[in-house]
Amino acid sequence: MEAYSPDAIWLVVLSFMVAFILACGIGANDVANSFGTSVGSKVLSVRTACILATIFEMAGAVLIGYKVSDTMRKGILDVSLYEGDEIELMLGCLSSLAGSGIWLIAATFLKLPISGTHSIVGATVGFSLVCRGTQGLQLKTLITIVASWFVSPLLSGLVSVVLFVAIRRLILNAETPVTPALRALPFFYMVTIAINVFSIVHNGPKLLYLDNVPLWAAICMSLGLGGVAALLVQLFVVPWQKKQMLDSSRDGSPRNSRIMEEAKTLPVIVEVPANNNGYILAESESLSQIEVKRDEEDTDRPEIVRVFSFLQILTATFGSFAHGGNDVSNAIGPLVAVWLIFVEGSVLQKSETPVFILVFGGIGIAIGLWIWGRRVIKTIGEDLTKITPSTGFSIEIGAAMTVLLASKIGIPISTTHCKVGSVVFVGWAGSSSSGVDWRLFRNIISAWIVTVPIAGLLSAAFMLALRALVL
């Protein structure tokens, strides 16, 4: 096939359209992974979460998305087997986009948080089995990807739960938790900023001339900017937080405060079952005892909410950036293959992922989030377990670190698996009164299991139909 062959223009245009629909499905389903916990803990409104997600999803897609995109379009299949059959490979990529897109949109309609990575990998395998059988599959890469699906929720969950246990022991259970919380705040910011900067600077995109930065320079830049962030937090954010807490403690009517103090010492009359035949009145614990137990089980203390709310916004944007870098490849990996085959006339796709296609995928993800993102946000952020600012921070930082590490080494792991793994681990370790909804978790696992075969079957069906019509 010659470059810019007019015979293939319709295929390129159709691939762009289908890829955009797929990107919207990823935005509606997967971006809940980044901001669902922030919305669930009431730190952010859905509207604010959507605004931040739009900015940072785009940034992650453009700055680090090229790495995983290369794996998705050339690492799963042996593209050299399609030399001389460029149109067939382009049809296969279109089939994978269609199969993955249909299943993602259907799952979002059902409020099921599935893996966009699962979906596109299954769809890619589906069309490849139709075209070349098992011969065209890079089994080593596939095994690595499949293994990451199981490792990622465990790794992400362990990182999150270790962080949460440390926070609970050193901060939440302290006699005056606000003191250690404010002391730890600069460190939390330093670590978050440093890791985020390192993910961009080390082996970064040519767009920012960061592709040849040596490892030592990337480490120095990351630690330097992280240190600056910690210093700024110590000088400005910590005093501001202290002032906010002091002002808050002075607010309120003396009369109302006196009434509440008196009420807390009074016993509470509650209804309790009487031999399953009705209810009797009984004297229970005082209001203060009930409030303390409820606060310990279900919520953070007000001063802790103030400290971790601000920090959780940073970790949510961190997670959104990581998601944009990792999951934009699910929407545009096959599209990039179609485009480069079209312009180069070769299945080898020697050029780097074009920036304009990364932007195109990022825009699709953002639009999908705005249109339909609320559905899965509720599942991740509210239904699976109760989330507070402190647990939300632990969940987000653990999941984001896992995803960013995978993005830098080119492994397309599932952000859905990472976030759900962290939510379940922390929800279980937190031992809150609501605990983990294990029935919902079982349903989510079931959706994960059927994603690969469903996406693969849809893609294979599209490939069979397109081959009959076109080839």
CB atoms within 10 A of CB 293: 12
Rounded percentage of the chain residues whose pLDDT exceeds 70: 81
Extended beta strands in 80-213, E state? none
Predicted confidence (pLDDT) per residue in 303-323, tens digit: 788 778 877 888 788 778 877
Q: What is the pLDDT of residue 74?
A: 60
Predicted confidence (pLDDT) per residue in 391-412, tens digit: 888 888 888 788 777 766 666 6
Predicted confidence (pLDDT) per residue in 347-366, tens digit: 777 777 888 898 898 899 88
Q: Is the pLDDT of residue 238 over 50?
A: yes
Residue range 415-425: mean pLDDT, rounded = 87
Rounded CA separation 238/255 (Å): 31
CB atoms within 10 A of CB 261: 10
The residue among 350, 298, 316, 355 whose CA lies nearest residue 332 is: 355
User: Between the CA of residue 236 and those of 69, 242, 332, 358, 416, what are the distances in Å?
Assistant: 40, 10, 41, 36, 35
Rounded CA separation 17/306 (Å): 44
Predicted confidence (pLDDT) per residue in 102-112, tens digit: 999 998 888 88
Cβ distance 430 to 387 under 8 Å? Answer: no
Q: What is the pTM of this model?
A: 0.77
* Burial zone of 254 (CB within 10 Å; 0-12 exposed, 13-18 middle, 19+ buried): exposed
Amino acid found at 157: G
Q: Is the pLDDT of residue 121 over 50?
A: yes
